[in-house]
Every structure is written in C-alpha cells, then in structure tokens.
Amino acid sequence: MGDVIAAPADAGKFDVWDPANVSPLVAYLATENCPLTGKTFFVQGGRVSLFQGWTMTEQIEKDDAGRLPISRPR
C-alpha cells in the first residue's frame, strides 16, 4: 500500500494523496457563512465529493439499569 500512496518521484508532479489537498475545504468549512453543516466529504487530489444521506436502520436503548441489551454473536 505504501507504493500506492507514496509521493510522486517527480517533486513537480501533483500528489493526489498530499494532506494539503484537504486544506482549502477545511478553511471554507470553517468560515462563518459556510452553509454546509453536518455534511461528510471525501477529498482526494483535485476532487471533493459529497456523501449523500445517512440512514438510521436499527436502534437499541438502555434498560432501566442503564445497560444496553447487546447479545453475543452466534
């Protein structure tokens, strides 16, 4: 995996895995008037993708003693 995310041998070539690629999005999200709240993004290279929707499908609640009713896998 190290070869996949390694910096390019040519220092002048764009590095899609460079963490600095995330900085512009982080700076924008930190602005006072940013309308994007509660969103999840994927950033790689020059692309920013917005994940759509998270859906709750199951739920458990604590019993009267404050314990979660979790059973062992079968």
Q: Which of 24-28, 44-48, 65-69 has the lowest mean pLDDT?
A: 65-69
Q: How far apart are CA 29 and CA 5, in angstroms?
A: 26
Top pLDDT among 39 and 67 is at 39
- pTM score over 0.95: no
pLDDT in tens, 57-66: 777 777 777 7
Q: How far apart are CA 53 and CA 39, in angstroms?
A: 9
